């Protein structure tokens, strides 16, 4: 018995406590979750795909029901290859809605069997984005409470390296 498998796709550059919250909520509904890290060189990520994956693996170490993979190309193709039709996405605020709605309907257009499930994070994470975390960290602000400790450590190191590279 494999149980119900869902895919949670995203850039995760880096993973935040909001993402972790969605994964934990997802596990209340689905038996297994594949966190699918998008390889997207166009976005000029702060962390490489491998680094982004490693941080997520560290956070969920010992939890067999969370698996981390990378993907490229169409999400519907990746989902089919993983033999599932369930996609989980997080919804923070109205601002997420239009983009997420368009994407869910486009994915359904590409594969009518795909179902997208939206989950709302704890309200304390509803202002949180990877973007904001990168911004705060790059300006030397504290990111504790916004990201897991392993991510905070990596961010501090990365920001130091970038500063050194600039001087
Ligand atoms: P993408 O580049 O695909 O938007 P992200 O890594 O930014 O990837 O986000 C992946 C998913 O997680 C998206 O559905 C996004 O709306 C959701 N998400 C991001 N931050 C949060 C948060 N703080 N709380 C809940 N969901 C979030």
Distance 164 CA to ligand 1 centre (A): 30
Is 39 a pocket residue for ligand 1 (Cβ < 6 Å)? Answer: no
pLDDT for 81-111, tens place per residue? 999 999 999 999 888 999 999 999 999 999 9
Q: Whose CA is nearest to atom 3 of ligand 1?
A: 10
Is 26 a pocket residue for ligand 1 (Cβ < 6 Å)? Answer: no
Is 78 a pocket residue for ligand 1 (Cβ < 6 Å)? Answer: no
Q: What is the mean pLDDT of residues 56-63?
A: 97
Contact in structure between 115 and 85 (CB atoms under 8 Å): yes
Q: What is the mean pLDDT of residues 48-69?
A: 97
The residue with tokens 């969605």 is 22
Task: Name which of 74, 72, 88 is nearest 30 in CA terms.
Answer: 88
Residue 1 has pLDDT above 70, yes or no: no
Residue 122 has pLDDT above 90, yes or no: yes
Q: Any idea which residues carry the catalytic annotation?
A: 19, 43, 92, 130
Structure-block tokens of residue 115: 């179902």
Where residue 167 falls among pLDDT bands split at 50, 70, 90? low
pTM of the predicted structure, to 2 decimals: 0.94
Residue 116 has pLDDT above 90, yes or no: yes
The residue with tokens 């490489």 is 48
């Amino acid at each position: 018995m494999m149980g119900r498998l869902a895919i949670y796709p995203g850039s995760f550059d880096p993973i935040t406590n909001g993402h972790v919250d969605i994964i934990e909520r997802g596990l209340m509904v689905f038996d297994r979750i594949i966190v699918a890290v998008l390889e997207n060189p166009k976005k000029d990520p702060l962390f490489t795909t491998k680094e982004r994956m490693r941080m997520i693996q560290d956070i969920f170490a010992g939890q067999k029901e969370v698996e981390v993979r990378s993907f490229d190309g169409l999400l519907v193709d990746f989902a089919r290859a993983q033999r599932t039709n369930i996609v989980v996405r997080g919804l923070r605020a109205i601002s997420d809605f239009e983009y997420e709605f368009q994407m869910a309907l486009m994915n359904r257009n590409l594969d009518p069997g795909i179902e997208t499930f939206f989950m709302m994070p704890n309200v304390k994470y509803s202002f949180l984005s990877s973007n904001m975390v990168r911004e705060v960290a790059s300006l030397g602000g504290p990111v504790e409470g916004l990201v897991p400790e392993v991510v905070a450590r990596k961010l501090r190191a990365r920001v130091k390296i970038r500063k050194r590279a600039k001087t």
